[in-house]
Structures are given as C-alpha cells and as structure tokens.
Amino acid sequence: MANVAVLGYGTVGSGVVEVLERNKAEIRKNAGEEISVKYILDLRDFPGDPFEDRVIHDFNRILEDDEIQVVCEVMGGVGAAYQFTKQCLMAGKSVCTSNKELVARHGTELLALAREKCCNYMFEASVGGGIPIIRNIHNSYTAEQIRAVTGILNGTTNYILSKMETEHADYTEALKQAQELGYAERSPEADVEGHDACRKAAILSALVTGREVDTERIYTEGISGVKPADFEFAAGNGMTIKLLAVCRILEDGKLSAMVAPFMLSGNHPLASVGDVFNGVLVSSNMLGDTMFYGRGAGKLPTASAVVADVVDCVQNRGRSVMAGWGCGKAEMADIEECERLFYVRTAANAFGTAAKAFGLNAEHIARQECLRDGEYGFITPVMKEKDFRGKCLELGDVILSRIRVM
Amino acid sequence: MANVAVLGYGTVGSGVVEVLERNKAEIRKNAGEEISVKYILDLRDFPGDPFEDRVIHDFNRILEDDEIQVVCEVMGGVGAAYQFTKQCLMAGKSVCTSNKELVARHGTELLALAREKCCNYMFEASVGGGIPIIRNIHNSYTAEQIRAVTGILNGTTNYILSKMETEHADYTEALKQAQELGYAERSPEADVEGHDACRKAAILSALVTGREVDTERIYTEGISGVKPADFEFAAGNGMTIKLLAVCRILEDGKLSAMVAPFMLSGNHPLASVGDVFNGVLVSSNMLGDTMFYGRGAGKLPTASAVVADVVDCVQNRGRSVMAGWGCGKAEMADIEECERLFYVRTAANAFGTAAKAFGLNAEHIARQECLRDGEYGFITPVMKEKDFRGKCLELGDVILSRIRVM
C-alpha cells in the first residue's frame, strides 16, 4: 500500500481525497497497489468531515514519516508551498501539484532536485486542468519535432469570449455572468489580463524547449479590450476571437511565446473550443496537428490529474521518470520581428487614412467590413509586429481596436 | 544503440524508416540511445533506395539476430504478419504494429505472449493513426472510470460525409472524389461499410473493458445509405452526420459497442472533426469529456505512432509495460435493448402514418422538417432499438432513411 499526504484541504485537496476514494478500485488496479490518504495538512480543522482524523497541522509529521512517499501539493501560492515542496523532494518524497504559479516560478530548481533525489515532481494539473497535455508532450511525441503548441488555457476568459460571441454581450456583462457562475473571481485580473494563461504558456514552452522560460519574458495581453464590434467583424468573416497562448519554435531554434487575443478562422481546430473548456493544439513535423480538448479547471478534473500523477509516482518508485526541463534559459525570439496579419477597427471617417497607412491594396480592401455604428474593420497585409505598432502609434486614436490574426 | 527490423517496406514501412532518419536526434534523446534500422524485410528489392543494403528476404535472419530487440510489423494482413509477430514475441523481441486487423483478431493471444516473454506488443498506430489514443487510455486515465469512448475512426468515410455536408454532394460523387485523391481504395467496402472502424472499435473496447471483444459482436453499419436529404435535415436542425464508433460501459458493467452513422448536434465535440481527420472522445467519471483529434491515417503520422511505440519498447527493455487486455471475453449488452432517438425520413404522403406509428406528440412534431422533393424528416421519441426496428418493418417502404441520433 502507498500512503500519500495532501497539503491543503481546499477545493482541489478535497477533490484529490474524493477521487482517491471514489475510484479506489481503478486506482489500485492501475497503480498495482492501494493508495491511501494518511495525512491532510491544513491550518483548519474539519469537524464532521469523513477524513477528519487524517487532518494534521504540523508539516513535519509528513516530512518525518518514511511511509509517505508521495505528497500532493494543492495549497497554491509560492510561499509555504515552495518550502514544503523543496523539503519533500530533499527527503526523496515525490510531489504532485496543481500549482502552476510555483511550477512556472521554481519548476527548474524543483525538477533538478527531484532528479537528484531519484523521485518526481509532477504537475499535470497545472496546465489544462484535466487535459493530459503534459503527459502527452512527454510520452506521445517521442518520435517528433514539436514546432508549436497553441492553447486555450484559461477557462474563465474562454467563457467570457464565448458569451460575447454567442449572446453579443459586452465584456463587462459577460464578466459579471462569469462571476455569478463562479467561473471568474471577484478580482478577475489574473484571468482576464492573461497572467494565468501566461504561467501555463511558460510551463508548456519549457517542456517543448527543454529549458526554463520566465513568465516575464512572455508578451501577455488580456481580453478586456475586446469589443462586441470585433466579434461582429469576426462573425462576418467566418472567424472567432480566442485568448491564445502561442509557443512556437522558429527556424533558428528560438522560442516565440505570447499570450494574446487572436482572431482565428472558424475552421481552426481551436475555434470550436467554447465555454469553460480548454484546448491545446500541438504541431509537430510528422504528425502535423493534434489537439487535446477537455475541462481546463474544476475540482474533480484537476484532482483527477493530480491523482494520475500520484499513480505514476507509485508505479515508478525510486525512478525519476518525467524529464520536465533542464537548467539554462530558453533563447527567446524578438516578438517585434514576428510577421503576421492584424485586424484593425477604425471610425468611419478614419478608414481612408488608416487603409492608406497600412498600404491596403484592392484585394485587402475587399476584406473590409462596415460594422454597426458606421465603424470599419479590416485585415492588414502581413507585417512585422514592430511595423504594425509603429503605424498604430502614428495613427493614434482613430484605431479603435486591434487584434492579431492567426 | 538499439537495432530494429521493419517488416514490410510499403507506405507505412518506408514512413517508419523516414521518421527514424529525419527525427534521429529527438528519438535518440527520448529513447536514451540511438535507434537504427538494421533490416527491412520485403519480398521485393529496392535498387537505388538509400536503405537498399538493409533489405532482406529471409525473416529468419531477423529472428536469429540477438541484436534485434524491437520489430515493426507494418506488412498488414493476418497471415505472415501473424506468424512473424508470434515468432518475434516467442523470441522475446517486442513488436510494434499498425496492423489493426491483426490486433483485433489475435491481440489477446499476442498480448499474453508478450507478457509471458517480458516484452511488448504495441499498437498505437492501429487506431486513430497519429492520435495517441491507446497510450492515453493506458497512461492518462489511471484515476478514472472510463464510461464511454466515441470516435470518428475512419478518415475515408469522414472525408466522404464532410464532402456531402459542405458541397451537398451525393454519396457516389463524394466517394469518387475520395478515390481520385487516394483517400479511398478502388474497392472501398472495408471503409464505407464500417469494417475498418469496427476493428478499431473492437480494440478500443478491449482496452476499456480489459477483455477481448470480437469484431463480429459489434453491430456495424456503413455510410452508403446516407443521402443529401438527410444532411439537409441535419443542417436545418443544427446537426451533422458522422460515422461513429460508440463503445459504452453500461450501468450493469456490460459493453455496448456499435459502428453506425449518427446524427449529432453541431455543438458536439466530434461535430467539428472534418475531412480526413479522426477524433476520439473519452467520457470518464471525474474528467467528464476529453477529446483527442488528429490525422487518422497517412504515411508519416502512422509511422510516427509506430516509432513512438519503438521508443517506448527501447525505454522499457525487459519490462512488459502496456497492459492491453487479458483473456476472457467482454460481456456484451444486447443492442436491441438500447434506448435512443432516431431520425426518420419519409415520403410526403406517408408522414402522417409514420408520425402516428412512432407516437409523435406535438413537441416532437415541432421538430419535423419539410425537405426538398416534399419529403419529411423527423426525430422519434426515445425508444428501444428493437421497437424502432419493429415500427420500421411495419411501415415498410415509406421509410426512406433512418439514422440514429446521438
């Protein structure tokens, strides 16, 4: 029998205990032995809880108990969670986590420590919730050169954008609905400004390059500037708008990573990932495009991903199996040099000037569209980020909206 | 260095050699050592081929060479391929295959043999081409009870149905186009009558139940009866038509497995899987729905899946790691007792009789639709397969089309 400890008895922590209990038989069969919760560490007591007797307040009891070989860190944050994780790994105990902030910030060190101590630091639940994307990048692309990973990695923003698209809601209304349903927090910045997706992009980028990627070096833009008129243009052109994390290995081997709203064709595999779902598209040189789709958040899907890692740790006692990434920073491409199409919305009286500034020819003008309120939307020719930004600065306030086009 | 032998230098076989060559560096890194093709077994010679010197005609050279620990069986068929696979496994050599017919027919025996000899029989490429569905069922649902696996598993039929949908083509035209593009064979029965999807359904069902599933026991219906008028009804009701393999574990633990065209809502995750792509939706008790999408066929995607298995075998020398399924047959549910909605199309003058026979009430009649040529389409109430069939028999020729509704 394998004994595990759960650090934090909040939403995910109680989910981990529930998954271990409800799917006991399957887990036992897959792990090759029973997995039992011996300790639940929390500051609070839980009188009346069926697992009340496992709740402890002293982390050292876990650390000093040789029976505990796997620890689930589902507390969140980068303070105590970081210290506890480090101490567990130092003691040769594997750690499974859903804590994307910690993985993004200290993953390199923690992975190195796990390798040194022949145990594992696993974090399937940190990206894409219940979508097994990390396990897949590690196990399923062993005969591939991965060229890009593009993902809808944040359920809150995907819900908001889906509402704006299907119900023609504006951003504030859609955010309010998301908050009422518990999909968005009262302080929604981490989600709507793209910080959550950025952490996940950093983790995926590190896995793909095999090197550390700082969140600070990933250009990140949120969705609060997206307007109903932009969805109107998108719909008229068979497109939609999604907050995408785009991690791409360029020809020169550098990593181009970005989180931003993108307009993408309705035929794009990620276009149909709606509501709170997440989707991750992996592009590799032999397989082409493969996509993974599922619930990106939620108590049980996230907990199930943590438990799948626990099973993996139990199956591989004494072996460090998930490579993760090594030391050294990934070399980042200069985003400013990246070339793409851009969508631009202008006031009616500014369309002529703007079109001229972006050098639109007859073919491009054919893709313009007159929107509600007499505004105009159009797609620029392919241009570099820096040139696009330069033009926008020149044109100033007449540019009402701008969104990258995938 | 690991030496491998490739049995069959056809499309997939030459793909395997190409993947091993082009992604040599990645494969070496992931496998922990170089993987090199030592023999290519084929009846033919390949003068001028860069691997000409590896081509041999005598299988015994492979069998007797202790340096060969992994063999790729990409010949197809259930004759020589079966004998060779058995002999390799008996000799403790792992076998990786794309041969779904062989896996569906003799997988139980070959898996048992691999376990006995502490080697592996792997078949990722046999279902969903380059989609890592088998590896995922094995590795990613270890904390789950899988309840259903629903898949678009045949690219040829998905291409034909997609053409019928988007270009309003009829079946014969769409099949002809598929043949011209090389997506369908000149004798297309294995694809269009659902036999190929049925083999894949048998493999997935066996993985999910852990027991053998005979293809003969899976109810299988092809797509040749689907008409443009049926797509017209589907489009009018926000639905589409897909050839689905549906494998479901019922409450009583029995397996319900079927391959047939289904009408499904445009919101269904599989609805947007178009063209020659494949998609597999896994429903499990904690994660809910997760979906995998990618190229279901083609030389390089299929070959990449075979090579991923080779890497797995090299990483796990002397260990039997893929459980597959055990001996004993899965207990099958009686399809006749399954309940669902059905779509029915009738001639105009027969609509009243048919509607009455199916006991349509006002709510259901609201979902009827008058189609081209004055025909009518409607959806029945929920009913058992046997009752539906009984009604259709009674009504006879006035039923022009019938398709299950997901």
Count of other CB atoms within 10 angstroms of residue A118: 13
Q: Which of A100, A163, A200, A242 is catalytic?
A: A200
Give the side-chain half-sphere CA count within 13 A for B131: 30
Q: From the list A31, A284, A293, which residue is nearest B293 (CB)? A: A293
d(CA B372, CA B369): 10
Residues 254-313 of A with CB under 8 A from B: 267, 269, 271-272, 274, 284-295, 300-301, 303-305, 307-308, 310-312
Answer whether B165 touches A (CB < 8 Å). Answer: no
Q: Dump pLDDT digits (tens) for A346-379.
A: 888 888 888 888 888 766 665 566 677 778 888 9
At A367 the pLDDT is 58
At B373 the pLDDT is 72
Answer whether B314 touches A (CB < 8 Å). Answer: no
Q: What is the pLDDT along chain A (406 residues), one digit of tens a residue?
A: 999 999 999 999 999 999 999 999 999 999 999 999 999 999 999 999 999 999 999 999 999 999 999 999 999 999 999 999 999 999 999 999 999 999 999 999 999 999 999 999 999 999 998 999 999 999 999 999 999 999 999 999 999 999 999 999 999 999 999 999 988 888 899 999 999 999 999 999 999 999 999 999 999 999 999 999 999 999 999 999 999 999 999 999 999 999 999 999 998 999 999 999 999 999 999 999 999 999 988 899 999 999 999 999 999 999 998 778 998 999 999 999 999 999 999 888 888 888 888 888 766 665 566 677 778 888 999 999 999 999 999 998 889 999 999 9
Count of other CB atoms within 10 angstroms of residue B126: 27
Q: Dump pLDDT digits (tens) for B67-117.
A: 999 999 999 999 999 999 999 999 999 999 999 999 999 999 999 999 999
Nearest CA in chain B to A131: B290
The alpha-carbon gap from A380 to the nearest alpha carbon of chain B, in Å, equals 28
At B196 the pLDDT is 96
Distances (CA, A) of A205 to A5, A88, B403: 30, 26, 45
Helix (H, G, I), strand (E, B) or coil at B60: helix
Distances (CA, A) of A55 to A4, A86, A120: 13, 21, 24
| Residue (of B47, B44, B43, B49) closest to B17 by Cα position | B49
The helix or strand, by DSSP H or E, that contains position B352, with its residue range, turns out to be helix B351-357
A299-315 and A11-22 helices cross at what angle (nearest 10)? 60
Q: From the list A31, A144, A288, which residue is nearest B295 (CB)? A: A288
Per the DSSP assignment, residues forming a β-bridge with B255 are B249, B332
Q: B293 and A139 in contact by Cβ < 8 A?
A: no
Backbone region of residue A110 per phi and psi (left: phi > 0; alpha: psi in -120 to 50; beta: other values): alpha
What share of chain A in percent tops pLDDT 70?
98
At A151 the pLDDT is 97
| pLDDT band at B364; cut points 50, 70, 90 | low
At B50 the pLDDT is 96
B228-236 and B155-167 helices cross at what angle (nearest 10)? 70
At A260 the pLDDT is 98
Q: What is the mean pLDDT of residues B358-375?
A: 70
At B43 the pLDDT is 96
Q: Which residues of B touch A143 (CB under 8 A)?
A: 19-20, 23, 26-27, 30, 304-305, 307-308, 310-311
Q: From the list B135, B300, B312, which residue is nearest A286 (CB)? A: B300
Nearest CA in chain A to B208: A26
At A358 the pLDDT is 87
d(CA A340, CA A354): 18
Kindly tell me if the per-residue pLDDT of B151 is higher than 90. yes
- Look up the ipTM and state it: 0.93
Kindly tell me if the per-residue pLDDT of B214 is higher than 90. yes
Alpha helix (H) residue ranges in A210-321:
228-236, 299-315
A228-236 and A155-167 helices cross at what angle (nearest 10)? 70
Answer whether A137 touches B (CB < 8 Å). Answer: no
Q: Which of B93, B100, B163, B200 is catalytic?
A: B200
The helix or strand, by DSSP H or E, that contains position B150, with its residue range, turns out to be strand B146-152
Q: Report CA B387 to chain centroid distance, whole Å.
A: 29
Q: What is the pTM of this model?
A: 0.95
Q: Dump pLDDT digits (tens) for B265-288.
A: 998 999 999 999 999 999 999 999
| Residue (of A112, A286, A329, A138) closest to B29 by Cα position | A138
Nearest CA in chain B to A291: B293
Alpha helix (H) residue ranges in A23-170:
24-31, 59-63, 80-90, 100-116, 133-139, 155-167
Residues 206-245 of B with CB under 8 A from A: none
Q: B163-191 burial by CB neighbour count: b if 16+ within 10 A, else e?
A: bbbeeebebeebbebbeeeebbeeebebb
Nearest CA in chain A to B267: A272
Q: B295 and A308 in contact by Cβ < 8 A?
A: no
d(CA A183, CA A176): 10
Nearest CA in chain A to B314: A142
Per-residue tokens: B129 = 């081409």
Four-residue CA torsion sign, B60, B61, B66, B72 = negative
Q: From the list A31, A286, A290, which residue is nearest B293 (CB)? A: A290
Q: What is the DSSP string of B254-299?
A: -EEEEEEEEEEETTSTTTT--TTEEEEEEEETTTEEEEEEEE-S-H
| Residue (of B365, B366, B358, B359) closest to B398 by Cα position | B358
The alpha-carbon gap from A130 to the nearest alpha carbon of chain B, in Å, equals 6
At B363 the pLDDT is 61
Q: Dump pLDDT digits (tens) for B7-59.
A: 999 999 999 999 999 999 999 999 999 999 999 999 999 999 999 999 999 99
How would you class B251 by CB atoms within 10 Å of its CB: exposed for 0-12, middle for 13-18, buried for 19 or more? exposed
Mean pLDDT for chain B overall? 94
Cβ atoms of A95 and A88 closer than 8 Å: yes
Answer whether A326 touches B (CB < 8 Å). Answer: no
